[in-house]
Structure 1
Amino acid sequence: MNTNYYAVIMAGGVGSRLWPISTEKYPKQFHDLLGTGESLLQKTFNRINQLIPVENILIATNKRYEQLVLEQLPEISNKQLLLEPAMRNTAPCILYAALKIHQQNKNAVMLVAPSDHWIENETEFIKNIETSFKACAKEDMLMTLGIQPNHPNTGYGYIQFEENSSEIKKVKTFTEKPNLEKATEFLASGDYLWNAGIFVWSVSSILDTFKKYLPKMVNILDNGNNVYNTDLEDDFIKNNYEKCEDISIDFGIMERSEKVHVLPVDFGWNDLGTWGSLYNKLSKDKYQNATVGANTIFKDANGNMISTQNGKKVVVQGLQDFIVVEKDDVLVICPRKEEQDIKQLRTEAKDAFDEKHV
């Protein structure tokens, strides 16, 4: 394995659109959502470990999930955890990781990957990451992986690229989640990809870019004291991290830099961000009903997604295209086409019920 290869797995999110399974106390990345025997975090770690040494994989998460991460990944040490003391979006977290890695290895090339994505073809994924690593080790570029869109999804960001004969394309524009009309337009044009939020760059390239576009953030997290990978790191982060601007890597860096490139990929990607995306991955009966956990009888019912505690007996009649999810003493029933509303329903439930349910 190449010792210059590093990875940061982003595992701090709450996964609010998969409520009530995903909660603040136990978010989706720690669940085995598809019944594989591994949580999404474990699956992501083992996939990346095919290319990157265990000791070079860092996990960025919230302080409250420290024990959950260490329980699920016994191979790693506390030193590999980047514990965010405050929620500040992805840019500060990635800068923190880059500074920590740079202190260890100035020639490092790093992958940034979410902990909660499903990837069908792991061999193809590893091949794509290796292609990206080699390109970024040679050239001063920021790379992202772009997924070939197969429908006009309004839940993803889109990347427009310049057509050329090389495998890696120059990025023209980033568009945050468009409306349906725009997404349909993008799909028809053929030069747009979904933004998977998977990035590769050399640490020197990303640090130079931060200095150019987010210099205040660099001044906050890099005060010249070389605290990273020492006993002073934890206290330094506790005292300074929350002073950082709350901004995503997309807005702060990727949409502004001139050196962004994209590698179009096709490895069976699914972000498992909603009940609908989970429904798409599950096996279904001849009436397109999908079930997790429950013993179900369906009568005159089709296109439903039912998720309950193991062995719960559920009888469904006359229901079409609904999501029905039970977790402990919470039951959520929602039309599949309105799955994006679950995030808002969770907020309302937080106000109406006890916080422990969300």
Structure 2
Amino acid sequence: MKFLTRTVWILSFISLLTDVASEMLYPIMPIYLKSIGFSVLLIGILEGIAEATAGLSKGYFGKVSDSSGRRAPFIRLGYTLSALSKPLMAVTIFPVWIFLARTVDRLGKGIRTGARDALLSDEATPDTKGRVFGFHRSMDTIGAVAGPSLALLYLYVYPTSYSPLFLLAFIPGVLAIGLSFFLKDSKAKPKENEATVSFFSFLQYWKTSPASYRKLVGGLLMFTLFNSSDVFLLLRIKQAGLSDTATIGMYIFYNIVYAIAAFPLGILADRIGLKKVFITGLLLFVVVYSGMTVTGVWYWYGLLFFMYGLYAAATEGISKAWISNITEKNDTATAIGTYTGFQSICTMLASTLTGWLWFRFGAGPAFTVSALMTLIVAFYLSRATAEPWKAVG
């Protein structure tokens, strides 16, 4: 498998280790914050600020990476900040400090995302983008399986002892930092006559980007507006009567399916087309969200979470591979950073919208709206976009 270069392997293991660290804390973060006095409102504000920081910084640092022609320094700094944020969360329970630590974590994600995905793109050809991004997503998601599993094991032995878990999460983070020093920049050159990059200068890319990019990203962002946090899926099965352990187990099961399927679906996408696999993923999303309107037993939700894992495997890495195939090589980090930046903001709005619909009309209508809008987006992408190798500006 010549397409799995040294750089692809290093980036994939870095993402795996970082996700182990992050996902160790994911199941217990809301519990920990409430235990130190955070209200639900304050937790919402905290996550909103964190996601806004990540979203805006992705576009800016993607633009800076393209302008400088450098990738590795941004990747290294981004993963370092995210690793350092883990023990910082346990230093003190002072709210301002917690906000600072959480923001540092998301800032790290914003700094590294565009540069990392651009470096992955540089390591692939148009015919291998799907499998390279798919392999990276598979490795990343293995960390998302291992992290919660380790957290469950730890909490079984030390229930309600949360602070040491933040210190333990620092260990895989440090290993990820160490691996990042083995990365080397590709042969990308700095852009000549590039003015100083302002924080919002990446927004100008939307005006100068290829028409195929605007059509694709417009559809992707519309989908994101109705693709709320996975927390709502977990809340739905908890509402249906599953235990806490079963609920977390479903989340782990979803990530296992995602991890196993992402690489094979990436290979399939390279063979039959990124667009076909991506739209199939959206249709799986429609089935899952429609199924969530039905109250069922645990194996019904197990089937839905199985399909949800396939949906994620068919869309997450594939969307970035698609974007990188319709943009210029020296704009890849800006293009992906701009998309993921807007995506973060749309995700915030999506969760707010779903939460309001759930509160006002119930879970069924909330999931139905998401399913119907996703069906519309799938139809739009099938008509308004071409396969990446056929796309023109």
TM > 0.5 fold call: no
**TM-score scaled by length of structure 1:** 0.26
TM-score where L is the length of structure 2 = 0.24
Q: Quick check: which one's helix share is greater?
A: 2
Higher relative contact order (CA 8 A, sep 6+): 2
